[in-house]
Chains A and B, each alone.
Chain A
């Protein structure tokens, strides 16, 4: 028994030694899998960078729409302030997006090579929408100012503060574009 056992153990050890030398017999996976994984990750990154402009244009339009809808609710609600949180959220996100993805902003340290090509359409749509609602909020602000100058109540002071807040939140993303219509400049 002892001799047979030792012989089998020796044979197993010899097979392990051969396999560790050649390294092919034990290996279930070939080293092509690492190359395949690297190619897969590269292609997925290419797909992300090609999908990104469409998604960013959709986000900019939705953020501007949420800002404008929050501003409408906040301006037209006479007694309560319902859309204030919505305006603040979308304003903060819009400033963050402008500061990250706009190459003209002074503090943006972003290489914009894969992100070019989405700017014209979104800037067209969003600048028109924001211009229209900035003009509306300016009209509302002037009306509230006139009402406050005629007869000053507490409700009218509150409405004046509301319209000033709305005007600042809508005009600041437009920046220096505000007095000029977007097409008038070119």
Chain B
């Protein structure tokens, strides 16, 4: 029973964090932070969002 609960929680988290919407959200947030100020947080946010977004589009295309 505990296995099912852990699997469901992990799958819900993966559904949220690896989706197209979250990648686009990260790209928008990172570019708002990074473009005027040049923070380190914004740079990594932008990179991570770009990676998620492109991977989603590649998998859909294949």
Contact = CB atoms under 8 A, between A and B. Distances in A.
Interface of A: 23, 26-29, 31, 33-34, 37-38, 40-41, 44-45, 48-49, 51-52, 55-56, 58-59, 62-63, 65-67, 85-86, 89-90, 93, 96-97, 100, 109-111, 114-115
Given A27-B1, A48-B21, A100-B53, A37 B28 contact: no
B16 interface: yes
B-side interface size class? 20 to 34
Nearest to B36: A66
Contacts of B8: 33-34, 37-38
Nearest to A97: B31
Chain B contact residues: helix, strand, loop or mixed = helix
Contacts of A34: 4-5, 8
Given A41-B12, A90-B36, 9 more contacts: A34-B4, A41-B16, A45-B15, A45-B22, A48-B22, A86-B36, A90-B35, A110-B57, A115-B24
